[in-house]
Structure 1
Amino acid sequence: MMRWLRWGVLVSLILGLGVASRAAPGTVEPVENGFPLTLLPGADGPAETVNEDGKPAVRGVKDDKGNYPAYLYFRVPDRARRLGGGPVYLQVDYKDVGPGPLGVQYNAAGEGYRSAARGYGRLMTGSGAYRTAVFELPDPAFRGAQNLGADLRLVGPGGKTPLHIVSARLYARPTPLFRARSARPWLLPYAGPRRNDVDASTLKGKVLCGYQGWFHAPGDPTERGWVHWSRDSGRIAPETLTVEMWPDMTEYKRQYPAGAFRYPDGKPATLFSSADPETVDLHFDWMDRYGIDGVFVQRFLGGLEDAAEASRVIGHVRQAAARTGRVFALEFDMSGTPPEQGLPRMQAYWRYLVDELKITEDPRYLKHDGRPVLAVWGFYTDRFSGAWANRIIDAFKAPGKYQVTLVGGGQWHWRTERDPEWARAFRRFDVIKPWSVGNLDVRGGVKRAQTNYWADDLAEAKRNNMLYLPVIYPGFSWDNLQKTAPGTSLISRRGGDFFWEQFTTAQRLGIDTAFVAMFDEVDEGTAIFKVTHTPPTGAHFVTLDGKPSDWYLRLTGKGTQLLRGAAKAPPNER
Structure 2
Amino acid sequence: MENPRTAGVFTLRRRSDPSTIQNKLLVQYLGWYSCPGDGEPIRPGHKGWLQWFDHQNPDMKQPRVALFPDVSSYSPSELYPVPGLTTSANQQTHLFSSRNPTTVQRRVYQHGVDGALIRRWAVDLLVGQEHLKNFADEVLDRVRTATEKEGRVFAIQYNVVNVPADRIAVILEQDWEKIAHEKGVLSSPNYLRENGKPVIALAGFGWRNAGHTPALVRSILGMFRRITPGGAYIMTYVPTHWRTSGGNADPNPEFIDLWLDEFDSICPNISSIHGERMKADVEFIRKRLEGKQRVVDYIPSVYAGESRSTWRTGKEDWNKVKRNGGRFLWDQFHNATKFGVRTMYAISWDDYSDGLTLMPAVTRKTFLPRPYESESMSLDEDDHNLPPDWYMRICGLAAEALHTGTPIPETFPLKGLEGYWFGNTLSGYLQGIDCLFLVEDYNACVTLLFSIFTQEVTLGRRIVTFGGLSAHDDVQHMVDFLNQVLDNGTLPKDHSEKARKWVLSLLSKIAKSAQVFPGCCQLCDVQCDLTSPLNEGGFGYICKGIYRDRAVCVKAVRLYQRQDCTQYLRAQAKEFVLLAHLSHPNVVPFYGVWLPDEKSAKICIVSPWMSNGDLVKFMSVYPDVDRLPLLSDVSTGLDYLHKSSIVHADLKASNVLVSDAGRAMIADFGISHVVLTRLKTTTLVSTGTPYWTAPELATQPGARPTFESDIWSFGCLAFEVLTDKAPFYSFNRPPQLLVAFVQRKVTPLSSSVSSPEDTNHIDIRVRKLMERCFNYLADAHRPKSGEIVQFFADLNIPDNRPLGDSTPIATHRARTDIQIDYQRVYKLLELVEENMHDSKKTVEDEKK
Q: What TM-score, normalized to structure 2?
A: 0.41
Deviations 1:511-550 (A, max 9, x none): 1110000100111111111112132231122222321111
Shift of 1:298: 0.4
Query: Distance in 1 between the 2:214 and 2:229 partners?
Result: 26
Query: Distance in 1 between the 2:194 and 2:171 partners?
Result: 24
User: 1:216-295 counterparts in 2 under 5 A?
Assistant: 216-221=34-39, 222-223=41-42, 224=46, 225-238=48-61, 240-252=62-74, 253-286=77-110, 290-295=111-116
Question: 1:476 is aligned with what amino acid?
Answer: E
Match of 2:405 in 1: 565
Larger Rg: 2
Matched, 1:310 2:136: yes
Q: Mark the CA change 1:310 to 1:551 in structure 2 (over 3 Å): closer, same or farther.
A: closer
Decide which moves more: 478-487 or 546-555.
478-487
Aligned partners of 1:414 and 1:434 also within 8 Å: no
For the residue of structure 1 that corresponds to 2:379, the secondary structure is coil
Match of 2:120 in 1: 299
- Considering fraction of residues, name the structure with more helix: 2
Shift of 1:460: 5.2
Deviations 1:94-134 (A, max 9, x none): xxxxxxxxxxxxxxxxxxxxxxxxxxxxxxxxxxxxxxxxx
Q: Which runs of 5+ in 2 are unaligned?
A: 1-12, 246-250, 418-848
Match of 1:422 in 2: 255
Shift of 1:455: 2.8
Aligned partners of 2:201 and 2:237 also within 8 Å: yes
TM superposition outliers: structure 1 runs of 4+ over 6 Å: none
For the residue of structure 2 that corresponds to 1:412, the secondary structure is coil
User: 1:43-442 counterparts in 2 under 5 A?
Assistant: 197-221=15-39, 222-223=41-42, 224=46, 225-238=48-61, 240-252=62-74, 253-286=77-110, 290-304=111-125, 306=130, 309-382=135-208, 383=210, 384-398=212-226, 401=229, 403-417=231-245, 419=252, 421-437=254-270, 439-441=271-273
Q: Which runs of 5+ in 1 are unaligned?
A: 1-194, 442-446
Deviations 1:172-202 (A, max 9, x none): xxxxxxxxxxxxxxxxxxxxxxx97110000
Query: Distance in 1 between the 2:115 and 2:298 partners?
Result: 18
Query: Distance in 2 between the 1:429 and 1:204 partners?
Result: 19
For the residue of structure 1 that corresponds to 2:355, the secondary structure is coil
User: 1:464-503 counterparts in 2 under 5 A?
Assistant: 464-484=294-314, 488-503=318-333
Matched, 1:554 2:378: no
Deviations 1:465-500 (A, max 9, x none): 211110011112433442325964452100001100
Deviations 1:42-91 (A, max 9, x none): xxxxxxxxxxxxxxxxxxxxxxxxxxxxxxxxxxxxxxxxxxxxxxxxxx
Aligned partners of 1:448 and 1:498 also within 8 Å: no
Query: Distance in 1 between the 2:283 and 2:30 partners?
Result: 30
For the residue of structure 2 that corresponds to 1:355, the secondary structure is helix
Query: Distance in 2 between the 1:450 and 1:352 partners?
Result: 38
For the residue of structure 2 that corresponds to 1:379, the secondary structure is coil
Shift of 1:364: 0.5
Shift of 1:381: 4.2
Query: Distance in 2 between the 1:360 and 1:460 partners?
Result: 35
Q: Mark the CA change 1:553 to 1:470 in structure 2 (over 3 Å): closer, same or farther.
A: same
Shift of 1:457: 4.5
Shift of 1:251: 2.6
For the residue of structure 1 that corresponds to 2:204, the secondary structure is strand
Q: Mark the CA change 1:529 to 1:324 in structure 2 (over 3 Å): closer, same or farther.
A: same
Shift of 1:399: 6.8
Number of aligned positions between the proteins? 370
Shift of 1:342: 1.7
**Counterpart pick for 1:530 among 335, 346, 360:** 360
Query: Distance in 2 between the 1:428 and 1:272 partners?
Result: 42
Aligned partners of 2:33 and 2:98 also within 8 Å: yes
Query: Distance in 2 between the 1:488 and 1:373 partners?
Result: 33
For the residue of structure 2 that corresponds to 1:373, the secondary structure is strand
For the residue of structure 2 that corresponds to 1:350, the secondary structure is helix
Query: Distance in 2 between the 1:273 and 1:299 partners?
Result: 17
Q: Mark the CA change 1:213 to 1:276 in structure 2 (over 3 Å): closer, same or farther.
A: same
Matched, 1:456 2:283: yes
Query: Distance in 1 between the 2:80 and 2:92 partners?
Result: 10
Query: Distance in 1 between the 2:234 and 2:260 partners?
Result: 12
Aligned partners of 1:226 and 1:234 also within 8 Å: no
Query: Distance in 2 between the 1:457 and 1:207 partners?
Result: 23
Query: Distance in 1 between the 2:389 and 2:307 partners?
Result: 19
Aligned partners of 2:154 and 2:191 also within 8 Å: yes
Query: Distance in 2 between the 1:405 and 1:233 partners?
Result: 38
Query: Distance in 1 between the 2:158 and 2:359 partners?
Result: 22
- Considering fraction of residues, name the structure with more strand: 1
Question: 2:393 is aligned with what amino acid?
Answer: R
Query: Distance in 1 between the 2:320 and 2:101 partners?
Result: 32
Shift of 1:229: 1.3
Query: Distance in 2 between the 1:462 and 1:530 partners?
Result: 41
Question: 1:559 is aligned with what amino acid?
Answer: A
Aligned partners of 1:215 and 1:273 also within 8 Å: yes
RMSD: 2.5
Aligned partners of 1:457 and 1:468 also within 8 Å: no
For the residue of structure 1 that corresponds to 2:120, the secondary structure is strand
Query: Distance in 1 between the 2:225 and 2:319 partners?
Result: 38
**Counterpart pick for 2:376 among 527, 530, 541:** 541
Query: Distance in 2 between the 1:201 and 1:278 partners?
Result: 26
Q: Mark the CA change 1:481 to 1:451 in structure 2 (over 3 Å): closer, same or farther.
A: farther
Shift of 1:303: 3.2
Query: Distance in 1 between the 2:16 and 2:66 partners?
Result: 32
Aligned partners of 2:206 and 2:255 also within 8 Å: no
Q: Mark the CA change 1:342 to 1:259 in structure 2 (over 3 Å): closer, same or farther.
A: farther
Aligned partners of 1:408 and 1:429 also within 8 Å: no
Shift of 1:462: 5.3
Aligned partners of 2:67 and 2:307 also within 8 Å: no
Query: Distance in 2 between the 1:461 and 1:542 partners?
Result: 43
Shift of 1:568: 4.8
Aligned partners of 2:360 and 2:388 also within 8 Å: yes
For the residue of structure 1 that corresponds to 2:78, the secondary structure is coil
Query: Distance in 2 between the 1:312 and 1:216 partners?
Result: 11
Query: Distance in 2 between the 1:460 and 1:414 partners?
Result: 15
Query: Distance in 2 between the 1:322 and 1:236 partners?
Result: 37
Aligned partners of 1:198 and 1:326 also within 8 Å: yes
Shift of 1:272: 1.0
Query: Distance in 2 between the 1:420 and 1:473 partners?
Result: 27
Query: Distance in 2 between the 1:488 and 1:309 partners?
Result: 30
Question: 2:20 is aligned with what amino acid?
Answer: T
Query: Distance in 1 between the 2:228 and 2:93 partners?
Result: 50
